[in-house]
Structure 1
């Protein structure tokens, strides 16, 4: 019995340090670092805005909305007044040139001030009446008008698709109309009425599209309708006048270039901001 107790005690002393050493050799499970995440790319908020200049060339067709002139003749108590109008009127098409300065407010809105010069549109008209001897006759009337058009305009850009930006717009301003002398020819002879010039109210409606040639340069093509109020057309001569036109409807086919100085444009490539995730730090075991 004593011998067995000694053997058990010796075995216990031998096992105890071995178990403690085994506990010291414990290793935690290996945790693998996750794969690094790709950079996060988000579009940067574009800073739109910038001054631009523009130049345009167009061909326009004008149509008179009516004419009227005063006539005089003998009657009781002196001169008797009346009014008449041209039987026929026709205005030929003509070229025009324009320039302007504007500001791109944001991606969808811009505004500019423009000045256009309309070259002379030839006028041909006719009237009917009575010539010498009470014989009915028809006159031939010729003149021409030119104009300066000054407008304040606003446009809505409708988005950019493969470099093309459609837009609509409107403008308000004034037109300085200058009529050449009116030459009235009948079988009785020729009468020249001095042409008049005056400022008139005008407004415009536009539609078109621009195309990105470079980041800052656009080719602009479109249509503009302009309505000009009526005004004095020619002065008194030989018992007739003054004469008045009742205004114009003008249709324009336009093309031009628009260059923006600085700022972001609809033609600029999208800007991006890259965020790199923080580096992975493995856990520390103590």
Structure 2
């Protein structure tokens, strides 16, 4: 009986010591609570890169007057009493570089198709009486410009802009036909390079992530130059310059980031936070 009591006491003591040990082996792991997600930031847009462009337009040219040398009973200088140029189409192309979101430059070449001219001059006919000549011709031009633009901003894919350009124009006048009471006369047309400059305004619209539709207005001024050669006691003649008003439309293809594509968000994986 005594032995039985001793065994019971030993078992009770063993259970009291082992209980905390086994309990320590079954402690639950700490609870992992995810950190609150940080705000999602969009990747910064890096503007820039080369682009090419193609344009067509309809333009109205304004004849700023002209004068010519006369050799006759009263030598001196004559001038056109009137002169008007008809509208015509143009086509052009260019290559440019988008420097940043707000500034770009390009080089453009535009071929201005034939614009008809009709004017009048006054003089003395063969009988000694005053007479009027009806004068007809036409001109074509190749306009080369180095341009700079400011893109004001982009709203819903539309980017308004203003710009200016400077360069030169190769102008070619066709044969000048004079019709008077004495008959008709012809003067060979003049041709040559002239100084030119331009100012423009418009807006572009994103068609795709790389292609933009460009609609705008451009004012170009071409300096005066030789209009026709000497013939029949008159000439040479020089025009005083041509002002050109253009309504333009075209496409620009951007090799770099055009600003049309929406930036992709950067995904963040929150780091787990362990708590005891």
Q: TM-score range by the shorter chain?
A: 0.7 to 0.9
In 2, Cα distance between equivalents of 1:105 and 1:274: 29
**What is the aligned partner in structure 1 of residue 206 from structure 2?**
212
**What is the aligned partner in structure 2 of residue 142 from structure 1?**
136
1:258 to 252, 257, 270: 252
2:261 to 260, 264, 268: 268
In 1, Cα distance between equivalents of 2:273 and 2:33: 8
**What is the aligned partner in structure 2 of residue 236 from structure 1?**
230
In 2, Cα distance between equivalents of 1:34 and 1:68: 90
TM-score by length of 1: 0.83
* 1:282, distance to aligned residue in structure 2 (A): 1.5
* 1:39, distance to aligned residue in structure 2 (A): 4.4
**What is the aligned partner in structure 2 of residue 151 from structure 1?**
145
**What is the aligned partner in structure 1 of residue 95 from structure 2?**
101
- State how 1:71-110 maps to structure 2 within 5 Å: 71-74=70-73, 81-110=75-104
**What is the aligned partner in structure 2 of residue 4 from structure 1?**
none
- State how 1:197-208 maps to structure 2 within 5 Å: 197-208=191-202
Stretch moving more, 206-215 or 271-280: 271-280
**What is the aligned partner in structure 1 of residue 122 from structure 2?**
128
**CA contact under 8 A between 1:40 and 1:274: conserved in structure 2?**
no
**CA contact under 8 A between 1:39 and 1:276: conserved in structure 2?**
no
What secondary structure, in the 3-state scheme, does the structure 2 residue paired with 1:268 have? Answer: coil
**What is the aligned partner in structure 2 of residue 196 from structure 1?**
190
In 2, Cα distance between equivalents of 1:152 and 1:37: 54
In 2, Cα distance between equivalents of 1:257 and 1:172: 22
Deviations 1:131-176 (A, max 9, x none): 1322222111000000000111111111111111101111111000
**Structure 2: unaligned runs, 5 residues or longer:** 1-15, 25-29
**What is the aligned partner in structure 1 of residue 275 from structure 2?**
282
**CA contact under 8 A between 2:65 and 2:82: conserved in structure 1?**
no
In 2, Cα distance between equivalents of 1:70 and 1:37: 88
In 1, Cα distance between equivalents of 2:239 and 2:265: 58
**Structure 1: unaligned runs, 5 residues or longer:** 1-16, 26-30, 75-79
1:49 aligns with 2:42: no
What secondary structure, in the 3-state scheme, does the structure 2 residue paired with 1:195 have? Answer: coil
Number of matched pairs: 252
* 1:34, distance to aligned residue in structure 2 (A): 5.2
* 1:33, distance to aligned residue in structure 2 (A): 5.8
In 1, Cα distance between equivalents of 2:72 and 2:199: 44
